[in-house]
Amino acid sequence: MIKITEDTSYIRFLKDTDENFSEIHNRISEVYKLLQSLYMTDRSYTLRFKKLFGSKDDVELYCITYDDYQLLNEVLNNTIDMLNEAGVANLVTHDEFKHIYLEIPKQLELNKTYIEIFNKDWQAVDDFINELDTSLFIYKEEK
């Protein structure tokens, strides 16, 4: 996942955030396809993250950001529930997968606090995806 710094421009921030959401979309979609092919679930999930870059005004941008983070939180936790129901163990922690709680941004001002929250949230997402890749590696080899 792309991290931001205090000298990241606002336009670069929007593009990087869109790229992070796009990467998550691709990786979670692959997980669902794999688990469906192994008959571990019949669920499917259609992610519809909206693009931040190109938003018309700050109010629209805030609403899209808020909605995207809520959807991301929901998708990750639904994926975790699905993995736990299927009996897939987290091979990194040797336990079941734990829910993720993202701190949904309450503002869009690129100040130090927002940057810390943003990077902490995306690090949690990245950690989960890495644990997921490690845990599903054996299933990918069976296919």
Phi and psi, residue 111, nearest 5°: -105, 180
In DSSP terms, 95 is beta-bridged to 90
Considering the entire predicted model, what is its pTM? 0.85
CB atoms within 10 A of CB 50: 16
What CA–CA distance (Å, rounded) separates 105 from 94?
A: 31
Q: Residue 126's pLDDT is what?
A: 93
Which residue ranges of the chain lie beneath pLDDT 70?
A: 44-46, 108, 141-143
- Beta strand segments in 30-110, E: none
Give the separation between CA 77 and CA 52, rounded to whole angstroms. Answer: 23
